[in-house]
Structure 1
Amino acid sequence: MRNALIAAIAFSTGMMSSTVVKADEGQWQPYQMPSIADKLNERGIDIPADQLADLTRYPMNAVVGLGYCTASFVSPQGLVVTNHHCAYRAIQYNSKKEHNYLADGFLATTKDKEPSAGPNERLYITEAVTDVSAQVKQNIGDDPLERFENIQANRKALIKDCETDDNYRCSVRSFHNGLEYYLIKQLIIRDVRLVYAPPESAGAFGGDIDNYEYPRHSADFTFLRAYVGKDGKPAVFNKDNVPYKPKSHLKINADGVKAGDGVFAAGYPGSTSRYRLTSELKFASDWLYPTLATRYQLRIDTIEDMSASSNDVKIKYAGTLASMANRMKKYNGLLDGFKATDIAGIKQARENDFKQWLATDKTYQSFQTQFDALESSLVEQRKQRQTHYYFENAQSSALLETANKLYRLAKEKTKPDAQREEGYQERDMKMFKARLMRLDSTFAISVDKTLWLQDLRAYFDQDIRVAELDAALNIGAADTALPDTLDTWYAASSLTDLDKRLAWANASVAEFEASDDPFIRLAVALYATNMKAEKEAKTLAGKLSMARPDYMKAIIAYNKSNGWPVYPDANGTLRITYGMVDGYQSKDALYKQPFTRLEGIPAKHTGIEPFNAPTKLLKAIEEQRYGNHKVTTVYQDPASWLCRLFSCLDKPEQFNSVPVNFLSSVDTTGGNSGSPVFNGKGELVGLNFDSTYEAITKDWFFNPTITRAVHVDIRYILWMMDEVDHADNLIEELDLVRG
């Protein structure tokens, strides 16, 4: 296997891209693939569409979810590859003062040295997706709140029938805004272990400065491993567990891809808003995103300042900080994108055209009533969001959030399990307790108190107040005594102790209401107010469940009449997207090529975070250790416009390096991080990890000329494993192919 790797560093890449713009838009459900088989063929994706539609066959049965990111099996011994930032919690969980794996990286040279990734880490393997629209919509009624509750009851009944085996997790997800519902059955792997992670200085090279930017030079990958009991069934962490044997694992094409090659990605994109109305975009642009961005920036600045003087705080809040910085930059990118391209204007023009179509189409003319009802409900939704925003933030303390959930659990336990709120049923208890356990590794009193104080002051500075909160904190018009009050609360709370925290999960309502713990007292005091807000939200959701589905029926018909793609907005479920390896015109006279090279790393390196590449990586680049053989001459892609202009076939150019990251036109969003990127034969050629800054607005509107996803090139991963970190034991596990 090692010889195959060394021979594979014949790193062939194309340098420029085609100007032929095809709309590679779409985050497609797997069952839809046969319907777009012609589009896949046009892109040079040869793997049969019906094979991609089958979740029991290669490669889809090797693609797994982490609950927030995507990963894939790459060996018959349960080895999994994902992004470094997706495995951040696992790396953080195992980082201590004596061995900081975030800073130094980690490699387990044998399986017995692979530590647990943490009690919360799971792998979810989707085995079945079933249309249950009729069952969910059965006997739901027209009263908004009753409708919402009946939909929830139908969903929970389907889930209960599905989860006859404790090793499976089932969910019912809404597609096309409630027009369709699908039951998703997933095998849960509960014992996940950390195997290999590069240092953060390589895995997140460039940090927030380079986030959403290009060119990029990130080693954004990490290997985990799935373990099960000796009987082959999922089990919690135990030293006697054995590696999971997946039904298939991905073949890795060590030759990678070149410009113009067709590629596709599979993963679990989080959410998009492409079918949302123009009024929703304007609300996001004018109030929601600026408001959220302001709060995130304050929290980021605070955590960074406090981390500078405490390594313990730095480790505990590393994942939180990275997540917030990523979200902050996304909000800024969305706001900049809305200004650079008049997306609101584009959506409004299309919406106006839709209304004209609606008025003349005999089948859908009557849907204008639902459209008007939808707009009316959205006005109510915006008012709710603004009314509750500061009060919700005023409950942001990790200890208060924990107390709220624990008291809610005690309340829910008084009901039959089927009537409990989702998240508080018996099926949820393992994860519920795992979250309680994880708090110790992600929480510091000093930071939590400071962040909470900021949110409380923002709450006190506005007009909408909640008497129960003000009374509990003994605050009137001023907040000068608030810091002392919080000091007393944190010192007196039992929730900072793991054993006591876990014990509260079994306490009765009466025990909560008799408690003198300040955070529990506040949770009890705020319960009625929170439940009232939740009821309002459910009632509104019931109204939207009547208006949105009919609106979507009309929108789908309208899109089809125009020959536009029809796929559901992303909702955290398994999707497939296709495209090609391609650069793009970023701005006037600035073309961004599809591949970056190793030499870009020392060029950016300053020795100061975040451009502080590891010494061993810089040394390997300086010595041009590209795989212990002569680098192959690489020709320009003959299909590119530059080649046609300058006769690249007559003037070959050498890449003379290892490709690090590359661009493609696949349609991705958050949750696609870690998604395997395949060549046309279904072989792994990279991992998705980001989008370009210009493409951030694709959550609302897909622009094929500038929408690009950023991937870690598989050749860089292999090179890091071989020449930098000497992960020989893992290389031997991989199924490397050529050509």
Structure 2
Amino acid sequence: MRIALIAALVLTSGSAYADEGQWQPYQMPSIADKLQQRGIDIPAKQLADLGQYPMNAIVGLGYCTASFVSPQGLVVTNHHCAYRAIQYNSKTEHNYLADGFLAKTKDAEPSAGPNERLYITESVTDVTKQVNANLRDEPLARYQDIERNRKALIKQCESDDNYRCSVSSFHNGLEFYLSKQLIIRDVRLVYAPPASVGSFGGDVDNYEYPRHAGDFTFLRAYVGKDGKPATYAEDNVPYQPKSHLKINANGVKAGDGVFVAGYPGSTSRYRLTSELKFASQWLYPVSAQYYQQKIDTIEQMSAADKSIAIKYAGTIASMANRMKKLNGLLDGFNATDIVGIKQGRENDFLAWLQQDKQANQQVITQLETLLAQQHQLTQTNYYFENAQSSTLLSAAKRLYRLAKEKQRPDAERESGYQLRDMKMFSARLKRIDSTFDASVDKVLWLQDLNAYQAQPLKVAALDNQLNHTEGQQDLREKVAGFYALTQLSDQATRLAWMDKTAEEFENSQDPFIRLAVALYDSNMAIEKQEKTLQGQLSQARPAYMNAVISYYKSKNWPVYPDANGTLRITYGMVDGYQSKDALYKQPFTRLEGITAKHTGIAPFDAPQKVLNAIAAGDYGKHRIQSVYHDPRSWMCKLISCAAKPNEFNSVPVNFLSSVDTTGGNSGSPVLNGQGELVGLNFDSTYEAITKDWFFNPTITRAIHVDIRYVLWMMDKVDHADNLIKELDLVND
């Protein structure tokens, strides 16, 4: 009886405030009361101001989040977010992925790689009216008009080359916002623990809890001597940010309010049930199988060649994360019947819609028709698109597309091929060298070609180029010939093709370039279909969202846009959860859990220096007696504090909170009620994976690295004294 009561109370406490929402900063004043209820004392108006602390210390990586933590441009993010930087600097003679890295002086900090950037959002402006101005009715023309308007806004915004601007769609095209970001082009690696710390537990523990991962890494932003962004140069100087986060060395306790700022990638909470069914019944299972095959192949080849293991370490980690997330989504859909929940809400929405005489009753019907077309198009093109997966073919396709786009005025070129894109275009071609091995690429491409050949939907342009007789051996020999005869594996050759004309491509004898040219018309035809459909959806989705938002408001539900890679804030509290019957997961883990999990075999192979420090009880000022509040508090009454409040007696490693995060929030700073850094977001629990589609406050938990563990590693294990001196520690 007591267990059931505790479970009910925990579930109730988790949903009392319903910490749902990935809010745009400007929305914070509208939820000021909710922030205050969670104990977040920093003024909501301050959080809405991107020019003030702490928002002006938040940094985007383009795929993850980070934050400034010193006046000398020092940045902290997740280890897995900095994987490419660590991999870029790893060689067989000094494998920083395996051994870790620490620069004791600034002149020892190496470049994180030509593609690495830091993006600092300085302003976000509503440009809905400008994007929707003078749109034609014909779908393809409408799509082109929207793109033209977006490009014009971006061009005007990017009058200074030091800025990158983007126009993002919110509420599925109902609103558009222009983001202006300062670009830091010289990013350097400063301090990274070994992977046996940064990803302790590996894929086994991914999305699981309890966790004991030291998923953190420090980078540094550099600029030219004039203080302006510049490409890598030895005499560049550290960037001086407008502010940097203070670090609370005492961390947080259970029940404390926290908030997270970052760049969440994508959620689908406003999508229709039919879209969820398509994802769960076809797209996710097929994609998970696809990633698993590639992972198995790369791991098998990596076992025999350490250089392959280094080059593909980031690829493996990324694919494994995607695959486990897909499987977690599928398991979650079955465990909690997300489809049924979504359908129930949709039925209620339809009933509400019928009562609203002013609502367009055709909204759902029109949208469902278009979605059916979109799903069919995805299935039709899936295997053909995968059959073009070769790294060198992808490079050849981009290069030929560039030559074709250069025949048009810059303003009319496709995004990604304009003058503003050329630095990143070049850097992407250069980066191939650090992540490509012909023997691996050949096998992976052959697998995709075989999958394409095994299904009935064929594309004549591809079949004509392969031109092989029946039998896998012939296809294997054909593929081998592509790699033997191409010159695109050479970086200088790839870069030289950026200046070639379309005619030179069409006369080339390089097999990958010939294939790219041959497939161009087929790919463009598919792209035209997709753009036409997007033009139709650009009318149907906003109409649907207008109605949905009105419905949500009638229910007093939170109204915020789906995640789309733009800057957001989410709030919650430090809290465990009831994962299953009679199993409550505590919000904190301890150093001793590392020793308990250690087997000496990856992924549970903690470094000996970490084990020695734990065994010696060398915790120093980082030892915490309790991660709970007074035993009379509501939290301790709920769960009896499991251990007595004053017996934690260790250093916290990871902790849970109810903040609403998703991919892209990796590396996001976890801040206490005063806006001080107390942790880094790096994962979600397995039960919470379905939050991309539906937020369940009783089980949705994010997993964070505790800042006290980061400081302990810096102090007692790796002796990063030079970096500790840079940090602004409070309550130490």
Task: Name 1:128's counterpart in structure 2.
Answer: 123
Paired residue for 2:340, among 310, 332, 345? 345
Shift of 1:630: 7.1
Please say if 1:730 is aligned against 2:697.
no
Corresponding position of 1:566: 559
1:20 is paired with a residue of what secondary structure? Answer: helix
Q: Which residue of 2 aligns with 1:687?
A: 680
Which digits, 9 at most, give the CA deviation of each residue in 1:358-410, with x for residues without a partner? 0111332xx22122111000000000000000000000000000000000000
C-alpha change, 1:647 and 1:664, in structure 2 (3 Å) is closer
Within the alignment, does 1:254 sit opposite 2:223 as a pair? no
CA distance in 2 between counterparts of 1:449 and 1:205 reads 31
**Secondary structure of 1:186 counterpart:** strand
Structure 1 residue 627, shift from structure 2 partner = 1.5
Query: Quick one: distance in 1 between partners of 2:277 and 2:482?
Result: 41
Aligned mate of 2:213, from 194, 212, 218: 218
Contact 2:630 2:645 in 1 (8 A): no
- Tell me the equivalent position of 2:41: 46
TM-aligned CA distance change 1:679 to 1:633, over 3 Å: closer
Contact 2:631–2:645 at 8 Å: present in 1 too? Answer: no
Secondary structure at the aligned position of 1:130 is classed as: strand
Residues 638 and 363 of structure 1, relative CA distance in 2, 3 Å threshold: farther
- Aligned residue identity for 2:565: G
Amino acid at match of 1:253: N
CA contact (8 A) 2:121 2:182 kept: yes
The answer to whether residue 580 in structure 2 is matched with residue 582 in structure 1 is no
**Can you list the C-alpha shifts for 1:273-305, whole angstroms capped at 9, x where unaligned?**
000000000000000000001110000000110
CA distance in 2, matches of 1:627, 1:525: 66
**Higher alpha-carbon deviation: 629-638 or 191-200:** 629-638
Aligned AA (1:82): T
Aligned-partner Cα distance in 2 for 1:489–1:640: 68
Aligned counterpart, 1:428: 421
1:237 maps to a residue whose letter is: Y
C-alpha separation in 1, matches of 2:170 and 2:639: 48
Match among 136, 142, 147 for residue 141 of structure 1: 136
- Larger relative contact order (CA 8 Å, sep ≥ 6): 1
Aligned match of 1:703: 696
With 86-95 and 140-149 compared, the bigger mean Cα shift is at 140-149
Which among 545, 557, 570 is matched to residue 552 of structure 1? 545
Provide closer, same or farther for how the CA distance between residues 648 and 225 of structure 1 changes in structure 2, counting only shifts above 3 A. closer
Tell me how far apart the structure 1 counterparts of residues 322 and 659 of structure 2 sit (CA, whole Å): 21
Gapped regions of structure 2 (runs ≥ 5): 1-8
Match for residue 539 of structure 1?
A: 532
Deviation at 1:227, TM superposition (A): 0.1
1:594 matches 2:587: yes
Of residues 26-35 and 475-484 in structure 1, the stretch that sits farther from structure 2 once superposed is 475-484
Amino acid at match of 2:616: E
Q: What is the RMSD computed on CA atoms of the aligned residues? A: 1.5
Tell me: CA distance 1:237–1:574, structure 2 relative to 1, closer, same or farther (3 Å): same
Deviations 1:87-120 (A, max 9, x none): 0000000001110000000000000000000000
Give the unaligned 5+ runs of structure 1.
Answer: 1-15
Cα displacement (A) at 1:467 = 1.0
In 1, Cα distance between equivalents of 2:257 and 2:144: 45
Match of 2:30 among 35, 40, 53: 35
The sequence identity of aligned pairs, in percent, is 74
1:222-621 paired onto structure 2 within 5 Å? 222-364=217-359, 367-621=360-614
Q: Secondary structure at the match of 2:85?
A: helix
The Cα shift of 1:483 comes to: 1.1
Separation in structure 2 between the aligned mates of residue 631 and residue 132 of structure 1, nearest angstrom: 49
Bigger shift: 354-363 or 583-592?
354-363
- The residue type paired with residue 668 of structure 2 is S
Which residue is equivalent to 2:616? 623
* Residue-by-residue CA offset, 1:105-157 (whole Å, 9 max, x unaligned): 00000000000000000000000000000000001121110000000000000
- The 1-side partners of 2:162 and 2:572 are apart by 35
Give the match for residue 184 of structure 1: 179
The answer to whether the 8 A contact 1:17-1:637 is kept is no
Task: Tell me the residue number matched to 1:198.
Answer: 193
Q: 1:132 to 1:538 in 2, by over 3 A?
A: same
User: Secondary structure of the residue that 2:91 maps to in structure 1?
Assistant: coil
TM norm structure 1: 0.96
State the shift of 1:479 in Å: 3.2
Cα separation, partners in 2 of 1:40 and 1:732, compared to 1, 3 Å: same
Select between 620-629 and 253-262 the one with higher mean Cα deviation. 620-629
Q: Are residues 1:666 and 2:633 paired?
A: no
Determine the C-alpha separation between the residues in 2 that align with 1:324 and 1:646. Answer: 38
Question: Would you say the 8 A contact 1:104–1:198 is kept in 2?
Answer: yes
Q: Are the equivalent residues in 1 in contact too, given 2:255–2:635 (CA < 8 A)? A: no
Partner-residue secondary structure (3-state), 2:346: helix
- Cα distance, 1:640 vs. partner? 5.8
Aligned length: 722
1:8 — aligned with what?
none
Closer, same or farther: CA 634–374 of 1 in aligned 2, 3 Å: closer
Assess, with a 3 A threshold, how the Cα gap between structure 1 residues 326 and 675 changes in structure 2: closer, same or farther: same
How far residue 491 of structure 1 moved from its aligned partner, in angstroms, is 1.1
Matched, 1:721 2:725: no
Post-superposition offset of 1:480: 2.5
CA change 1:554–1:630 in 2 (3 A) is: closer
Partners of 2:162 and 2:34 in 1: how far apart? 37
Q: Distance in 1 between matches of 2:100 and 2:187?
A: 18
Q: Is the Cα contact below 8 Å between 1:17 and 1:641 reproduced in 2?
A: no
Q: Aligned partners of 2:254, 2:324: CA distance in 1, in Å? A: 28
Question: Shift of residue 475 of structure 1?
Answer: 2.6
Counterpart amino acid of 2:43?
Answer: P
Q: 1:648 to 1:599 in 2, by over 3 A?
A: closer
Q: 2:68 aligns with which of 50, 73, 81?
A: 73
